[in-house]
Amino acid sequence: MRGTFPKIAIYASVAALSLAALSACSTVSSIKGAKEGASTEVEARNVAPQDPLARPVQLGWTSARASHCGFIFNPDQLRSDYLAAEARIGIPPEQLTKLGQAYDYTRQSTYDTIKDNHDYCNKERTAAIRADLNRYLAGDYAPAARMAR
């Protein structure tokens, strides 16, 4: 079914994604209210490493991408392990709640953005997802923002 889409639909999808990416060139700190996290791939990739929400945003982004591309892992367990690691270093419970919300929001909004893109999981992207996911599953949650991915 992948090849049966009319060319116009493909071009429209690419144009819409490009427009969304260009219009969302901001950091997570610009998101106000209950929506803490990144709502687009560009926001997730460009979060500043010193931003307190950098880790949960990038974890949520990677989790959504890995789920979409068929990686076998438990996104809820990844979230729990990450929050447990933050709790061990002394993050207060109210801040942990915010970090969990940032993960959840970023994961859902990223997944909603890419769920209909059948060409999303190309060779380069899956290699980048695999590297990030393996690092996170091993307990290394350091933010590593990069535009190339």
Q: What is the pLDDT of residue 39?
A: 58
Record the pTM: 0.66
Q: Give me 89's structure tokens.
A: 């270093």
What's the mean per-residue pLDDT of the chain? 75
CA angle at residue 98 from 49 to 144, to 5 degrees?
20
Element (H or E) spanning 119, and its range?
none
Residue that wins the pLDDT comparison between 127 and 5: 127
The token pair that represents 139 in the structure block: 């307990």
pLDDT of residue 6: 42
* CA dihedral over 33, 38, 43, 44, signed as positive or negative: positive
